[in-house]
Structure 1
Amino acid sequence: MARAGVYLWDVKRARDVLVASGRNPSIDAVRAELGNTGSKTTIHKYLRELEAEERNDGASVSEALQKLVSQLAEQLQAEAVVAVDVVRTQLATERDEHQQTTVSLNTQLAGLRRELESLSQQLESALQQISAMQQQLQQEQLARHAAEQRGQDLSERLAVAERHQASLEEKHKHAREALEHFRAAAKEQRDQEARRHEHQVHAVQTELRQAQQAAALKQEQLTQVNREAAALAAELAANKQAVYLEKEVSRRLQHRVEQLQAVETHAATLKSQSAEARGRVREAEAALAVALETCSELREQKAGLEAQLNSAGHTRKFEERISELQQAILRISGPHARLGDSDKGAG
């Protein structure tokens, strides 16, 4: 099947050129003369039709061909106008669509850029907050370490105080046992001496007074031990309060650590969202570039079509082709007319 633009009169003109130059009007030669366009089957069909028309010796086809040429010219012009209108409509529609697409892509790109800017600000704020909380955490960790050291020192002092209190209690116990043993011994000795020697009462009384003095001294020591025990108990209560405060500080530090971890997680999420927003911005910019390139191509196509429509050469091409066809018809009808005149002279 021949391509658009290859018609019967094209084949005839190419064949006439080959005959005028003394070459054989074969299918390949005609196709080469036509610019290597059209199929060989169509060219062969047109050559056979031309040969059949030339062998037709009775009928004059001048008027029919002129009418056919006129109809073909009108049909070609109408089809050209319709094709141009269709192309113009399609170009206008595509231009509107691409303009709408461009506006939509620009809107999406602006939104993505605003979103990216917002995410960047949030990320910067989160990073600043993380930095501040890290500094605060370091300070609180130092404070916690110092508090733990003070707690450890207080615990050691408490252990020493407990050991000292236990030692004092042991001494007090030994003193009471010694006093009781001494009283028992004194009583036994006093009874024995009262029964035996009345004159030893004075010595026993003297020893008793000494024992009482010793007991009073032990009692004073016991009172001092009790006072020291009360002071150690108060210090122990203070140490317990300090340990409680240290535990409260530790709990608050743990809460701050959890808050920091949550902020770091939020910062990671913001980074991921920022990366996704940048990817969508790159995709929107790529789509916008493609749309702009397509619009540029459509503008070039529109300019080319308008140039073709506004060019007088396009109209002259149809007129020249119609003129050539009319001349070819006249050349075909001329020999037939002369042949008819010679037949009439012979008759």
Structure 2
Amino acid sequence: MARGGINKALVIEARDTLLNRGENPSIDAIRVELGNTGSKSTIHRYLKEIEEESSARLDDEALLSEPIKALISKLTATLRQEAHSIVESNKEQNQHREQALKARITELEGIVASQEKTLNTKEEALQEKLVELGERKSLEGRLSSELAEAKQAITEQNAIVTEKQSHIDSLEEKHRHNRDAMEHYRQSVKEQREQDQRNHEQQLHQLQAEIRALNQTLSVKQNDITGLNKDNGRLVAEISAAQKTLAELQAESRKNHAQIDAQASENNVLKNEIKKNESHISELELLRKKHKALTEWKEKSLLAQAKLEAEVAVKNELVERLLKEKSKNFGGPVGKECGSPDCEYD
């Protein structure tokens, strides 16, 4: 539970607790120790006052000698050098990682752009194929309708041919009967000629007229048979043409089905490439997240470097102020007045 407010005593208590645990008494650590209470500026002001009082107590209780000052300067220089070395090393590693990530991102973006371009091209080709397929299906439907009509026409023509053939057979049968009747009549006439010569002579003109009429009827029937034969030949030719058209339509239909199967295979290949592009895009998104995290870590490192440099600057300032205070209080460097660095403990 957060406290209602902070004061200097609470900050000193939190600072001492962190030092006893071996932790760095930073502003954020003290604020957490205080229950996330108090502004950072207030904590910083109290810490500054505490450090000034600590420096003043050190100045009153234990005067620093030249070796100690040299040691402080050396430690300060070493701390600054190590801090700069760590920061430079981290910066160099970050630069290498950032360059590698940027190169990988550029490469993946190029791959994705290429894949997207290829995908767009194939999608356009697919759309064209789909349009062509639709046209082919429409054409196939029309051809099927025409084929059905042709089959219906063939059926009707076959029926007509059958009817004509039946009529031809009937005419031939009549012609055969007429021929048989005429032969029978001639035979009868021949047999009765001697017996009925007179009657025959009387009826000769009538019989000849009937024969002429029968011949005319026979000629008409033969003309009908010839016309029927011509119609039959024409119908046979039409049936052959229709059968040829039917074979062509069936071949075109098989070809269309083969193209449809090939288009389905190409669609499956396109789907696989789309899945592969999605995996590349996922990898790119992951690398972007890693790059973002690395950028944030870099910013935090720079912030930590700036904070470390600020702390080093503050400590240098405190050391210099301490030295100035000693020089001011003792009129010169400690050790020169008594001639020995150990005289300050006498």
TM-score range, shorter chain: 0.5 to 0.7
Distance 1:100 1:317 in 2: 43
Contact 2:157 2:235 in 1 (8 A): no
Distance 2:301 2:318 in 1: 21
Distance 1:221 1:138 in 2: 50
Distance 1:170 1:285 in 2: 90
Greater shift in the superposed pair: 253-262 or 227-236: 253-262
Greater shift in the superposed pair: 81-90 or 146-155: 81-90
Matched residue SS, 2:21: coil
Contact 1:123 1:267 in 2 (8 A): no
Distance 1:129 1:267 in 2: 10
Distance 2:119 2:71 in 1: 70
Identity level (%):
9
* Other-structure match for 2:130: 130
Q: Deviations over 1:21-69 (max 9, x none)?
A: xxxxxxxxxx95833338xxxxxxxxxxxxxxxxxxxxxxxxxxx9899
State the Cα distance separating 1:126 from its structure 2 match: 1.6
* Other-structure match for 2:35: none
Greater shift in the superposed pair: 245-254 or 70-79: 70-79
Contact 1:172 1:222 in 2 (8 A): no
State the Cα distance separating 1:278 from its structure 2 match: 3.5
Given the alignment, which residue of 15, 18, 22 partners 1:37? 22
Contact 1:112 1:281 in 2 (8 A): yes
Matched residue SS, 2:20: coil
Distance 1:268 1:221 in 2: 70
* Other-structure match for 1:313: 314
How many residues end up aligned between the 2 structures? 276
1:197 matched to 2:190? The reply is: no
Q: Quickly say closer, same or farther: Cα 1:276–1:203, change in 2 above 3 A.
A: farther
State the Cα distance separating 1:75 from its structure 2 match: 7.5
Contact 1:130 1:260 in 2 (8 A): no
State the Cα distance separating 1:279 from its structure 2 match: 4.0
State the Cα distance separating 1:290 from its structure 2 match: 2.0
Distance 1:195 1:130 in 2: 94
Distance 2:110 2:215 in 1: 99
Equivalent residues in 2 for 1:163-178 (5 A)?
163-178=163-178
Greater shift in the superposed pair: 214-223 or 81-90: 81-90
* Equivalent position amino acid for 1:120 in 2: N
Matched residue SS, 1:290: helix
Distance 1:95 1:278 in 2: 29
Contact 1:105 1:284 in 2 (8 A): yes
* Other-structure match for 1:120: 120
Unaligned runs of 5+ in 2: 1-15, 24-65, 322-341
State the Cα distance separating 1:234 from its structure 2 match: 1.6
Which 4+ stretches in 1 moved above 6 angstroms?
Answer: 66-73, 316-320
* Equivalent position amino acid for 2:144 in 1: R
- TM-score normalised over the length of structure 2: 0.63
Unaligned runs of 5+ in 1: 1-30, 39-65, 321-333, 339-347
Q: Quickly say closer, same or farther: Cα 1:248–1:183, change in 2 above 3 A.
A: same
Equivalent residues in 2 for 1:259-278 (5 A)?
259-278=259-278
State the Cα distance separating 1:255 from its structure 2 match: 1.9
Contact 1:175 1:218 in 2 (8 A): yes
